[in-house]
């Protein structure tokens, strides 16, 4: 079965009135996720990855852009074309 992201994307209005888009991550998000990690401090990385990961290199972030909708379902929040966060379960 092939799932598309169309049925899972939604716009969310935040308390300040701004809007973000929540949608599943796609493999084409790899470079945007690399850009996102450049804004993280070493402390952010330590807290996010419980100290296991010290640096976020491009191959690591490209794996972060994989979601099979079965074993891993990852979403991103974006404003315009800028990804501001990522979560998975």
Q: Quick check: is 80 in a domain?
A: yes
More confident residue, 7 or 20: 20
More confident residue, 2 or 82: 82
- Classify residue 49 by its DSSP letter: T
Boundaries of domain holding 61: 6-88
Q: How many helices (H) and strands (E) does the chain have?
A: 3, 4
Q: Quick check: is 22 in a domain?
A: yes
Q: For position 71, what pLDDT does the model report?
A: 79
Between the alpha carbon of residue 77 and those of residues 14, 52, 54, 57, 81, the distances in Å are 12, 24, 24, 21, 10
> How many domains are contained in the chain?
1
Segment 15-59, tens digit of pLDDT? 999 999 999 988 888 788 878 777 778 787 777 766 666 566 667
More confident residue, 67 or 86: 86
pTM of the full structure: 0.72
């Amino acid at each position: 079965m092939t799932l598309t992201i169309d049925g899972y994307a939604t716009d969310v209005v935040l308390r300040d009135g701004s809007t973000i888009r929540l949608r599943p991550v796609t493999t084409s998000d790899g470079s945007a996720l690399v850009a996102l990690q450049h804004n993280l401090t070493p402390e952010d990385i330590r807290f996010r990855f419980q100290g296991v990961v010290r640096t976020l290199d491009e191959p690591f972030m490209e794996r972060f852009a994989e979601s099979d909708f079965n074993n891993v379902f990852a979403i991103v929040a974006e404003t315009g074309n800028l990804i501001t966060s990522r979560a998975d379960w």
